[in-house]
Amino acid sequence: MTPQNSYKYGGISFGASSKNRGTRRHAACDLVVPPGSPVFAVESGLVTDVPTKAFFQETFTVTIRHNWFVVRYAELDIERCVKEGDYVFEGQQIGTVGMNYKGRGMLHFEMYRGTAGGPLSQTSNDHTYDYVPVLNYQRRKDLLDPTPYLDQWLLWSDPDAYFYA
């Protein structure tokens, strides 16, 4: 049985209609977990951004340049375990999940190919994506759908997880 709140179902999957009356698409997979849950790097890499400005509802981000891709780990607590310029290892804790205004927590997992420059959020980008369908994600053009990667990592880290996810 598939849980209602997974990164594939329940309106929190990549590409789901999101804001602006469904004209803006969700640019991440949301992994619903309790606030305070630890967040770990999916692979080794260089921390490129740990902003002090909130990302969404007083939650924060860490961006890591991994070997061939970039991940923005979002909706974290303000207290993060890394700083810009740190090198992290696969499985190293980088922070904890924050709490939104409804008292809920989730890891908002955005993934990029790492082939474009500039900020990850680009509100005017609605048609120049390299790796996903032409829709308004308001993100940088090298945005990736993280679903197949999360599936692969889940299977690699916990072979029994497919019986429950």
Domain ranges within the chain, ordered by starting residue: 29-115+127-157
Q: Residue 75, by phi and psi: left (phi above 0), alpha (psi -120 to 50) or beta?
A: left
Distance CA 25, CA 133 (A): 11
Q: For the residues 118-124, what does the mean pLDDT come to?
A: 91
The residue whose two tokens read 């992290």 is 88
pTM score over 0.85: yes
Task: Identify the bridge partners of residue 61 per DSSP, sorted by sequence position.
Answer: 74
Q: What pLDDT is attached to residue 58?
A: 92
Distance CA 158, CA 137 (A): 31
**Is 22's pLDDT higher than 80?**
no
Q: For the residues 89-114, what does the mean pLDDT come to?
A: 93
The CATH-assigned architecture of domain 29-115+127-157 is Distorted Sandwich (2.70)
**How many other β-carbons are positioned within 10 Å of the β-carbon of residue 131?**
13
Distance CA 102, CA 75 (A): 13
- The fraction of the chain above a pLDDT of 90, given in percent, is 61
Q: Sorting pLDDT into bands at 50, 70 and 90, what band is 70?
A: very high
Q: What is the DSSP letter of 123?
A: T
